[in-house]
């Protein structure tokens, strides 16, 4: 079964052709990062308009790369939440038009479920058996830091979430304070790889009596550190790059430590058979290596390009929804606050 996967929940127009939830025939992402970088974050209306401008060209190219035409497909899967309302509306309406043109089954996918199913695209040898359920899924992105217990296909329980900022949001906001640009995650990771002297510790906030995340205290601590060093508000003075790399490395370590301690606690508590990493922050090399080092069970992590938003993950999740029944969700609406569990 070949599906078109469509992702437009934020600032990436992601379109892919996926077979049987696993095999990638094409996977294109038209990124708007350069447009939004000027504003230091994603501007929803600009994002929606940009999806409108690029959508058809990306679909055409994705079909061409897969050497297929629309009528060869068996269905369409599209993100219908959570995300930004305007960008979601563009993707869902376009998906309805394509499905109507060829009378194809159409299914709405939760963006977070897409991040989970990115793991099935290539890393799980037998989609029915390996590594077995329950799985602990960490979704760390610009809007979410969730620990989800996946009991079976389509059965989820939310174990922990962030009480304030998400992990990706913390990278992005801290990078802005430190003058490192947008998106912050890759910029902080790159800066942290520069030679640096050790930096005084930043806090690893905990929520009393809970495995929930909290990152806003860490963000404030970075702001205070930057103010103490005279880096913020931004000045024309040269910033010592060794010292800046030290703060970036310490911030990255604080975020990774906070995530890993909770992943380890939850995986032991729920006797999971494996840990799945997903979402843009799961592209972080320190998070990937440290999770592998500390997890008591196998860790499944998609390649970094499949961790950040893309259409392939939506096509993968779509197959698990459509394989048993052909759905036509003509009345599908977008749900910006859609929850998974
Ligand atoms: O999943 P995603 O592409 O979009 C959302 O659903 O939000 O995640 C985007 C987030 C951004 O906050 C970005 O800074 C972060 O993922 N990110 C990273 C890395 N690559 C992207 N964070 C840390 N290290 C990275 N290498
Ligand atoms: Zn995402």
- The CATH number given to 2-117+305-322 is 3.30.420.40
How much is the pLDDT for 324? 81
The two three-digit tokens of residue 174, written as one number? 């801290």
The domain ranges of the chain are: 2-117+305-322, 131-301
How much is the pLDDT for 305? 96
Distance from C-alpha of 124 to C-alpha of 126, rounded to nearest angstrom = 6
What is the sign, positive or negative, of the torsion defined by CA atoms of 114, 117, 122, 128? Answer: negative
The DSSP 8-state label assigned to residue 117 in this structure reads H
pLDDT tens-place string over residues 244-274? 999 999 999 999 999 999 999 999 999 999 9
Nearest listed ligand to the Cα of residue 143: 1
Which protein residues are within 6 Å of ligand 1, measured from CB? 10, 141-143, 168, 171-172, 183-186, 189, 279-281, 283-284, 308-309
Cβ-defined contacts of 97-103 (< 8 Å, 24+): 98/4, 98/59, 98/70, 99/75, 99/328, 101/70, 102/70, 102/71, 102/73
What distance in angstroms lies between residue 111's CA and the mean position of ligand 2's atoms? 6
Contacting residues for 128 by C-beta, under 8 A, at least 6 apart: none
How much is the pLDDT for 181? 92
pLDDT above 90 (res 327): no
User: How wide is the angle at C-alpha 161 spanned by C-alphas 156 and 162, nearest 5°?
Assistant: 160
pLDDT above 90 (res 240): yes
- The CATH number given to 131-301 is 3.30.420.40
How much is the pLDDT for 127? 63
Distance from C-alpha of 5 to C-alpha of 79, rounded to nearest angstrom = 8
The CA–CA distances, whole Å, from 235 to 52, 171, 180, 229 equal 38, 21, 14, 11
What distance in angstroms lies between residue 192's CA and the mean position of ligand 1's atoms? 16
User: How wide is the angle at C-alpha 77 spanned by C-alphas 74 and 80, nearest 5°?
Assistant: 160
Instruction: Give the confidence band of 237 by pLDDT, cuts at 50, 70, 90.
Output: confident
- Matching CATH topology for 2-117+305-322 and 131-301? yes
**Which atom of ligand 1 approaches the CA of 279 most closely?**
1
The DSSP 8-state label assigned to residue 282 in this structure reads G
pLDDT tens-place string over residues 103-140? 999 999 999 999 999 999 976 666 666 678 999 999 99
What distance in angstroms lies between residue 147's CA and the mean position of ligand 2's atoms? 15
How much is the pLDDT for 123? 63
Can you spell out the DSSP letters for 37-86?
A: HTTTS--HHHHHHHHHHHHHHHHHHHHHHTT--GGG--EEEEEEESS-HH
What distance in angstroms lies between residue 172's CA and the mean position of ligand 2's atoms? 14
Beta strands across the sheet bearing 2-7? 23-31, 12-19, 2-7, 75-81, 106-110
């Amino acid at each position: 079964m070949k599906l078109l996967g469509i992702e437009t929940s934020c600032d990436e127009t992601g379109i892919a052709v996926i077979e049987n939830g696993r095999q990638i025939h094409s996977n294109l992402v038209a990124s708007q990062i350069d447009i939004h970088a000027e504003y230091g974050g994603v501007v929803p209306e600009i994002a929606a308009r940009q999806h409108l401008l690029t959508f058809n060209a990306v679909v055409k190219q994705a079909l061409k790369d897969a050497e297929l035409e629309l009528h060869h497909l068996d269905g369409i899967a599209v993100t219908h939440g959570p995300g930004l309302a305007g960008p979601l509306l563009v993707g869902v309406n376009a998906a309805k038009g394509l499905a109507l043109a060829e009378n194809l089954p159409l299914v709405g996918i939760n963006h977070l479920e897409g991040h989970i199913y990115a793991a099935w695209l290539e890393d799980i040898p037998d989609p029915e058996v390996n590594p077995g359920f329950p799985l602990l899924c960490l979704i760390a992105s610009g809007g979410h830091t969730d620990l989800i217990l996946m009991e079976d296909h389509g059965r989820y329980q939310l174990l922990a979430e962030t009480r304030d900022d998400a992990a990706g949001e913390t990278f992005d906001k801290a990078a802005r304070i430190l003058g490192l640009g947008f998106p912050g995650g890759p910029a902080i990771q790159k800066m942290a790889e520069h030679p640096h002297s050790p930096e005084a510790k930043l806090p690893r906030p905990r929520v009393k009596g809970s495995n929930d995340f909290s990152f806003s205290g860490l963000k404030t601590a970075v702001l205070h550190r930057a103010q103490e060093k005279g880096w913020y508000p931004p000045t024309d003075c040269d910033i010592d790059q060794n010292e800046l790399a030290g703060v970036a490395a310490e911030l990255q370590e604080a975020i990774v430590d906070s995530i890993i301690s909770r992943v380890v606690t939850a995986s032991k508590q729920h006797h999971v058979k494996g840990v799945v990493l997903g979402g843009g922050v799961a592209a972080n090399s320190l998070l990937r290596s440290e999770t592998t080092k500390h997890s008591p069970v196998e860790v499944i992590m998609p390649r970094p390009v499949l961790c950040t938003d893309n259409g392939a993950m939506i096509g993968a999740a779509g197959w698990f929804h459509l394989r048993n029944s052909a759905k036509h969700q003509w009345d599908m609406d977008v749900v910006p606050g859609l929850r998974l569990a």
